[in-house]
Each structure stands twice: as C-alpha cells, then as structure tokens.
Amino acid sequence: MQYRTEKDTIGEIQVEADKMWGAQTQRSVQNFAIGTERMPHEVVIAFAQLKKAAAKANHKLGKLSEAKMTAIETAANEVIEGKWNDHFPLVVWQTGSGTQSNMNMNEVLARRGNEILAEQGSEEKLHPNDDVNMSQSSNDTYPTAMHVAGVLAVTENLIPAIQKLKATLAQKSEEFDNVIKIGRTHLQDATPLTLGQEISGWKHMLEKSERMIRESVEHMRELAIGGTAVGTGINADPTFGPSVAEFISEAVGAPFTSAENKFHALTSHDEMVYAHGAIKALAADAMKIANDVRWLASGPRSGIGEITIPANEPGSSIMPGKVNPTQSEALTMVTVQVMGNDAAIGFAASQGNFELNVFKPVIAYNFLQSVRLLSDSLISFNDHSAIGIEANLDVIANHVKNSLMLVTALNPHIGYEKAAAIAKQAHAEGTTLKESAVKSGHLTAEQFDEWVKAENMVGR
C-alpha cells in the first residue's frame, strides 16, 4: 500500500495514495471506528449541490475566480454523478455538527478541482477551507444539506410511492364496491359494509398522509446557509445565503429559500421533527393497512379468508404448501423502524445547546432511512401484494349470512333490548338469526326478510 502525507492544523497524517480525501477526513476515519452506518448518500449529494452553489455565489460576489468556480462546479458534478462514491467513507457517529463530513466534501472537491485546474494549465490552487468552504461553516452547511436531502428524498421517492399504492387501492375499491361483507370492530362482528368501502378507508389514509407530508416538508425548504458559525453570518456577505439558496433551487429543480432567522436554523431542527411526524403518521396508517390485509387473508381454511393475496414464495421450511403474508410483514417491520426513528429524531432535536445542535448526523440518518424504507416498502407491498388482492366471494357471503350483527336492522322496529335478546339466543342455541327472531314472537319470517337485508345496511 502506498501513502502520501497530508497536513492540517493538527499536523501531518498518512493517507492512502489513491484516496481523494485529505487530513481531516483521515482523522475521522481513524478516530470514529464506530458502527457500519455511513453518512447517507443523499447527504453527500446534497453537499455537492451546496458546494457548487456556494462557488457560484462567491464568484458572483467577486470573491472566487472563474477558474476556481468552474473547477469546483465540475468536481461537484462528478460527485453528483457518482464518480467518487468510494471517497466519502465517514460514519454517522462522528462530530455532532457534521464538521468532518463537510470537510470530507471540501477535501475531495479541492483535490479533484486542483487536478482539473492543472489539466487546464492553470496555476491557481484550491484550498479546502479557503476556497471550497468560503463564506461557510459546517454549522450552516450541514443543516442545509440535511434539508435539501430530506426535501428531495420525500418529493422524489416517498410521494411517488404513496401515489402508486393509492392508485392501486382506488382501483380495488371500485372493483369491490358491490361486494357486501361483514364489518368488524374490536375484532368482533359488526354491521355490514362493502369490501370497496373498507378499502376506500385505506386509500383515504394515504391521501391524508400525503397531504400532511407535503405540507410539513414545506418548512424544510428554509436553509441555514449564510449563518456560518453561530448565526451571525461572520465572514459571509449578507447576500450569500439567499444567493446559494437560489442556485441550489435552479440546480435541483425545487424551491429553497434562505432561513429568516439563522440563529434558529443552526440550533433547532423542529422542521425535521415536524416533517418526520407526518412520515410517522404514514407509517401508522401503513401498519393498519398491512395488518388488515394479513388478517383478511388469514387461513386459508382456519382464518378469516375473505380476501386472497399473491403467493410469492414458500412460507415454511417444514410445513409443505404453506404461504405467508410476507409483504405485510416486511411493511409492518418498516413501520416499527420508522416509529423508533421518530423517537430518536425528537430526542436528538431537543438537544440544541446555545447556538448549535450537535446531533445533526443522527437526525439526518434516521430521517432519510425512514423515507428510504417507507418508499421501498410501499412500492414492494403494492407490486407484490396489494395489486393482487382478490375477493373470496363464497367466504364473504357465508360470513354475512351467519353474522349476528345483522340484528341491528331490527332496532327501529322492535327496539334494542328485544333485538339483543334475539342475537344472544341465536348465539347460545347455534341457530340462525332468522330462526331466533321468529321463535321470539316479536316478528314474523316475512317481516325479518323485509327488514334484515344486508344491502340496505351499507349506507349507499
């Protein structure tokens, strides 16, 4: 293995010769051998967009030459394209401000930028702090990258995933609109509804969650950039932050603005807490949908069995022919992880001390993991389960026929207490509801047939 000597304000350190990073990244690699959780790729890409925008803003202010700006921009574009993925090795468990990840980006862009300048015959040299990090601090760049990464992950991945499953449920709701089934509350029989109506509730959960997530993520479009070290904007022109936000917006095709109060932007992450709360609400709805599907598909002979779902793979290594609701299981495990992430994000965000919150990497990691897992699992659940839901008409009809809760239709005619007595007698004697009703003497068989009709009980 060949090495080169890099130097920072602490002193000299050896770096593998083929690595693009410099001394501060190397110190982080050596000092934080903690876990396997790498800084999210989304944060790396957002940092590259930020550094490119900052170079343009500094050039616009006359602080950075056109050659240096172009070199930074070209190097940043290569990072965005994935050319240097292996050169961002840092873990989440590092300094809580994300300083070392900021410097990792500065060092890679400076080194690659200097190669570009040399190829062009320029004698100018990029310095990771003085040029790539010009007018910036880790304290305002990391939260800026957090917000850019979070907004793009939600809008480009999670929202489309919600919409895909929502469209499938809308189609299933329409397809099964006339399939009357027994309802259930408290896991006990209740009055009828249609399978389409039941599924429409699932669809509306996704619609509501999508609206809440869209609204909440708007607050993350405010960026901390321009606040530098403590929010005062020291060493940055007052127009720098708004200019960077404008350049980022142009580059990613999504609107961002410079935060009104930088003191808030550096020390508080309530926007991400709020947005992840809406994401947690989606996870709660996804848990309910996935559980309903696996309950309704339970069996095939000893469960509820009112719907069938695709058989994707063998379900047991010992029980031949067994098939399990694996997509529901995967989705519900994801929702549990998201709920845990929400607790971590909320607690981490509460730890802002004075001018800075130093739990930023764990907030970013958990937020982006939630978005990634929910996006993937909603699509997987849609493609391998929801899209293949079918109604088991014979089972559904038999459950409706045998349900004692159809007795509810008798309330207006004979009263609650007499109707309850009929239902209890039918259950105790194992007879049909109709047999018990006629035996009670409170109504005739003809009246029962006229009053107790499931199709009249579904609230069309």
- The answer to whether the CB of 49 falls within 8 A of the CB of 147 is no
Residue 14 has phi, psi (to 5 degrees) of -90, 135
The answer to whether the annotation marks 235 as part of a ligand binding site is no
- The answer to whether the CB of 406 falls within 8 A of the CB of 457 is yes
Average pLDDT over the chain reads 98
- Specify the amino acid at residue 45: I
Whether 418 shows a pLDDT value over 90: the answer reads yes
Closest CA to 281 of 211, 214, 209: 209
- The answer to whether the CB of 434 falls within 8 A of the CB of 452 is yes
The answer to whether the annotation marks 261 as part of a ligand binding site is no
In the three-class reduction of DSSP (H, G, I as helix; E, B as strand; rest coil), residue 228 is classed as coil
The answer to whether the annotation marks 89 as part of a ligand binding site is no
- The answer to whether the CB of 61 falls within 8 A of the CB of 9 is no
Radius of gyration of the chain (CA): 30
First-residue to last-residue Cα distance in the chain: 75
Distance CA 444, CA 228 (A): 83
Handedness of CA 219, 223, 224, 226 (dihedral sign): negative
Residue 268 has phi, psi (to 5 degrees) of -125, 140
The answer to whether the annotation marks 323 as part of a ligand binding site is yes
- Specify the amino acid at residue 338: V
State pLDDT tens for residues 115-140.
999 999 999 999 999 999 999 999 99
Which neighbouring-strand residues pair with 3? 16
Tokens of 145: 């990258």
Active site residues: 186, 316
Q: Which residues have C-beta within 8 Å of that of residue 114, sequence separation ≥ 6? A: 71, 125, 126
pLDDT of residue 272: 98
- The answer to whether the CB of 356 falls within 8 A of the CB of 139 is yes
Q: Which domains does the chain have, with CATH numbers?
A: 3-134 (1.10.275.10), 146-394 (1.20.200.10), 404-456 (1.10.40.30)
How many CA atoms lie within 13 Å of 241's alpha carbon, on the beta-carbon side?
Answer: 26
The answer to whether the annotation marks 9 as part of a ligand binding site is no
By CB atoms closer than 10 A (0-12, 13-18, 19+), residue 342 is: buried
State pLDDT tens for residues 243-295.
999 999 999 999 999 999 999 999 999 999 999 999 999 999 999 999 999 99
Whether 194 shows a pLDDT value over 80: the answer reads yes
Residue 209 has phi, psi (to 5 degrees) of -60, -40
Percent of the chain with pLDDT over 90: 100
Whether 218 shows a pLDDT value over 80: the answer reads yes
Which position has the token pair 């509501």?
A: 208
pLDDT class for 351, splitting at 50, 70, 90?
Answer: very high
The answer to whether the annotation marks 439 as part of a ligand binding site is no
The answer to whether the annotation marks 28 as part of a ligand binding site is no
Whether 460 shows a pLDDT value over 90: the answer reads no
pLDDT class for 330, splitting at 50, 70, 90?
Answer: very high
Which neighbouring-strand residues pair with 352? 357
The answer to whether the annotation marks 129 as part of a ligand binding site is yes
Which position has the token pair 């009670």?
A: 440
Tally Cβ neighbours within 10 Å of residue 389. Answer: 21
pLDDT class for 454, splitting at 50, 70, 90?
Answer: very high
Percent of the chain with pLDDT over 70: 100
By CB atoms closer than 10 A (0-12, 13-18, 19+), residue 343 is: exposed
pLDDT class for 161, splitting at 50, 70, 90?
Answer: very high
Alpha helix (H) residue ranges in 253-359: 262-267, 270-296, 326-349
Query: Span 11-22, mean pLDDT?
Result: 98
Query: Span 178-184, mean pLDDT?
Result: 98
pLDDT class for 155, splitting at 50, 70, 90?
Answer: very high
The answer to whether the annotation marks 413 as part of a ligand binding site is no
